[in-house]
C-alpha cells in the first residue's frame, strides 16, 4: 500500500513572525512513530511541509495527516484535496483529538489520542477492507513498540534530528495545558521501559539529543535509572522539567552527569495567585531563585517559559517578567499569551462565562489574545508580548543577563547560546538554504557541552 504521512505547515509559515530556524529544529517524530507500524510491503513517505514543498497531484492509497491547533486549517485543506480525488484520508493528532466533531468533516477516518495501538489496528482493517470511521486510542503499551522510522527523515534539513520521547503526557493537571484535553478520560502519563529508551538512544548517531517529553522528570525512579545508564554514553541533551523537580533531591545532578545541559522550565508566572488559579502545583510555593541558582551551580542553562494573560496579570506583567528573567540569568525565554486550547479546563470555563472572543484556531498560536482579559486589552497584550521579546533579546540585556552566572564558563555559554539563537537570523536562513545545518549541529554541541 502507498502511504503518505504529512505534517502540514503551520499557519504562520506565511506570517511576519515566521522563523525558518524554529521550524527546522525537529523532524515529525509522531509520524515516524506511526510509520514504524507499516509493513515491509508498504511504500511509505513522510512529508514535512515546513522544510519541503508538498505535492498534491499524486494518488497514494492512504494519506495520514497530523493536526496541531495552528496547522489544522491547512490540514483540512490538504485532506479535502485528497478526498476529492478519492484517496482515503486519516486524521489524528492533538487538534483532531480535541475537536473530533470538526475534524471528522474532513476525513474518512479519525483516530483519537496516541496512535500506537489504534493505528496498526486501523491499517490492518483498512487492508482487509473493513475499517471503521473512528478509532479511539485504546490501551497503549509502550513496552515493545518499534523504533520510529527516522530513516524516512530528510536529516540534513533539521538542526536537531535526534529528537525523541521516552514518556507521553504528564501526571500534573495545569488548567491551560493540552495534556488535559489530549489524555481526557484515560491515563495522562505513560513511559517506556529503560531498555527500550537506551536502544533508541543507541540507534541515533551524533552526540546531542533533545527529549521532547512534556516533563522528563515525571517518573523519578525511571529517570534516575536512565541517567545512571546514560553516564558515560557521551551524550549532551536538553528537555523539559518542572521547578519542584530541581529542588526535591539529587536527580538533577544525575541528569547533569548524564549530559543534561539545558532545561526548558515552565515558570509560567511570577505571581502566586496566577499559579494557583492555573493549578500549576509543581511551581506553587516553590523558590524559583533557589532552583535557578542550583541549576547554575551545576552547569545547566535555562530556557524559561512564561505565560502572559492569567487573570491576575496587570499591564506591567510584560516588563516585570522580563526584568525578572534578566536579573535571574535565564538564558533564553519562550513567552506565550495565555491560549485556551479547546478541551482544556480553562477553555471550558471561559466558554461558560462567554469570555472566548474567537474560535479561529489560526489565532491560537500563543501570540494572539483570543479571550477577554479583565485588565489588559487585546492591543496591549499583543504589543506587550512582542516588546517583551525585543527587550529580553537586546544585546545590552543579553550581556547583563549573562553576567548573572557565578562561573565564567556559564557566562560565556549564555552569551553565545542566547545571541546565536536570536541574533543571527540571516545566518540561520543561509545555513538552511545551503543545507549546512549539520555543520551548525557541531557548534550547538560544543556550546552545550
Is 170 a binder of ligand SF4 (CB under 6 A)? yes
Please provide residue 96's backbone torsions phi and psi, each rounded to the nearest 5 degrees. Answer: -60, -35
Is 215 a binder of ligand SF4 (CB under 6 A)? yes
Is 328 a binder of ligand B12 (CB under 6 A)? no
Is the CB of residue 245 less than 8 Å from the CB of residue 266? no
Is 300 a binder of ligand SF4 (CB under 6 A)? no
Min dist CB 108 to ligand B12, Å, is 11
Please state at what angle helix 220-230 crosses helix 251-258, rounded to 10 degrees: 30
**Which of ligand B12, ligand SF4, none interacts with 321 (beta carbon under 5 to 8 A by kind)?**
none
User: Given the complex with ligand B12, which of 88 and 98 has the nearer CB atom?
Assistant: 98
Is 30 a binder of ligand B12 (CB under 6 A)? yes
Secondary structure class of 162 (helix, strand, coil): coil
Is 49 a binder of ligand SF4 (CB under 6 A)? no
Return the range that interacts with ligand B12 (CB under 6 A); candidates 26-34, 37-45, 294-302, 374-382: 26-34
Distance from C-alpha of 206 to C-alpha of 219, rounded to nearest angstrom: 26
**Which of ligand SF4, ligand B12, none interacts with 34 (beta carbon under 5 to 8 A by kind)?**
ligand B12
Of residues 211 through 270, those in contact with ligand B12 by CB under 6 A are 212, 214
Cα of first residue to Cα of last residue in the chain, in angstroms, is 44
Is 166 a binder of ligand B12 (CB under 6 A)? no
The C-alpha cell of 31 is what? Answer: 509520524
Distance from C-alpha of 355 to C-alpha of 268, rounded to nearest angstrom: 21
Is 266 a binder of ligand SF4 (CB under 6 A)? yes
Is 366 a binder of ligand SF4 (CB under 6 A)? no
Alpha helices (H) along 237-277? 243-247, 251-258, 272-277
Please state at what angle helix 378-392 crosses helix 395-402, rounded to 10 degrees: 60
Is 366 a binder of ligand B12 (CB under 6 A)? yes
What is the residue whose three cell numbers read 505571581?
271
User: Given the complex with ligand SF4, which of 126 and 346 has the nearer CB atom?
Assistant: 346
Is 117 a binder of ligand SF4 (CB under 6 A)? no
Min dist CB 247 to ligand SF4, Å, is 15
User: What CA–CA distances, in Å, run from 112 to 67, 70, 312, 379?
Assistant: 11, 18, 35, 36
Is 241 a binder of ligand SF4 (CB under 6 A)? no
Residues 122/128/132/138 CA torsion (nearest 10 deg)? -30
Return the range that interacts with ligand B12 (CB under 6 A); candidates 65-73, 245-253, 294-302, 309-317: 65-73
What is the residue whose three cell numbers read 501526571?
171
The residues binding ligand SF4 (CB under 6 A) are 170, 172-174, 177, 179, 214-215, 242, 266, 282
Amino acid at each position: 500500500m502507498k502511504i503518505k504521512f504529512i505534517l502540514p505547515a503551520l499557519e504562520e509559515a506565511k506570517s511576519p513572525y515566521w522563523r525558518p530556524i524554529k521550524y527546522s529544529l525537529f523532524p515529525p517524530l509522531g509520524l515516524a512513530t506511526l510509520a514504524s507500524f507499516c509493513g515491509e510491503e508498504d511504500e511509505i513517505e513522510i512529508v514535512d511541509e515546513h522544510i519541503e514543498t508538498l505535492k498534491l497531484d499524486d494518488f497514494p492509497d492512504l494519506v495520514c495527516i497530523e493536526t496541531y491547533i495552528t496547522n489544522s486549517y491547512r490540514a483540512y485543506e490538504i485532506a479535502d484535496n485528497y478526498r476529492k480525488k478519492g484517496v482515503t484520508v486519516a486524521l489524528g493528532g492533538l487538534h483532531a483529538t480535541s475537536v473530533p466533531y470538526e475534524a471528522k468533516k474532513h476525513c474518512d477516518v479519525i483516530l483519537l489520542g496516541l496512535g500506537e495501538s489504534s493505528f496498526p489496528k486501523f491499517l490492518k482493517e483498512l487492508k482487509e477492507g473493513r475499517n471503521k470511521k473512528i478509532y479511539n486510542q485504546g490501551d497503549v503499551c509502550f513496552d515493545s513498540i518499534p523504533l520510529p522510522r527516522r530513516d524516512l527523515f530528510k536529516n540534513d534539513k533539521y538542526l536537531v534530528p535526534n529528537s525523541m520521547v521516552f514518556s507521553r503526557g504528564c501526571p500534573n493537571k495545569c488548567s491551560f495545558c493540552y495534556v488535559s484535553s489530549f489524555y481526557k478520560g484515560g491515563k495522562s502519563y505513560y513511559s517506556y521501559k529503560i531498555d527500550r529508551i537506551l536502544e533508541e538512544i543507541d540507534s541515533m548517531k551524533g552526540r546531542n539529543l533533545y527529549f521532547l517529553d512534556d516533563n522528563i522528570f515525571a517518573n523519578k525512579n525511571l529517570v534516575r535509572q536512565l541517567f545512571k545508564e546514560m553516564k558515560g554514553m557521551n551524550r549532551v541533551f536538553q528537555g523539559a522539567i518542572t521547578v519542584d523537580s530541581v529542588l526535591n533531591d539529587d536527580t538533577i545532578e544525575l541528569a547533569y552527569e548524564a549530559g543534561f545541559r539545558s532545561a526548558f522550565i515552565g515558570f509560567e508566572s511570577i505571581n502566586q495567585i496566577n499559579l494557583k488559579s492555573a493549578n500549576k502545583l509543581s511551581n506553587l510555593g516553590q523558590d524559583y531563585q533557589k532552583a535557578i541558582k542550583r541549576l547554575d551551580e551545576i552547569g545547566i542553562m535555562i530556557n524559561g517559559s512564561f505565560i502572559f494573560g492569567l487573570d491576575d496579570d496587570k499591564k506591567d506583567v510584560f516588563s516585570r517578567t522580563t526584568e525578572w528573567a534578566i536579573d535571574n540569568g535565564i538564558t533564553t525565554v519562550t513567552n506565550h499569551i495565555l491560549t485556551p486550547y479547546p478541551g482544556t479546563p480553562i477553555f471550558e470555563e471561559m466558554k461558560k462565562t462567554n469570555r472566548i472572543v474567537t474560535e479561529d484556531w489560526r489565532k491560537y498560536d500563543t501570540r494572539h489574545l483570543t479571550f477577554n482579559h479583565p485588565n489588559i486589552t487585546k492591543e496591549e497584550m499583543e504589543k506587550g508580548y512582542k516588546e517583551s521579546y525585543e527587550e529580553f533579546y537586546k544585546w545590552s540585556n543579553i550581556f547583563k543577563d549573562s553576567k548573572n552566572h557565578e562561573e565564567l564558563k556559564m557566562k560565556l555559554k549564555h552569551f553565545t547560546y542566547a545571541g546565536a539563537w536570536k541574533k543571527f537570523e540571516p545566518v540561520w536562513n543561509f545555513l538552511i538554504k545551503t543545507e549546512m545545518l549539520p555543520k551548525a549541529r557541531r557548534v550547538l554541541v560544543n556550546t552545550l557541552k
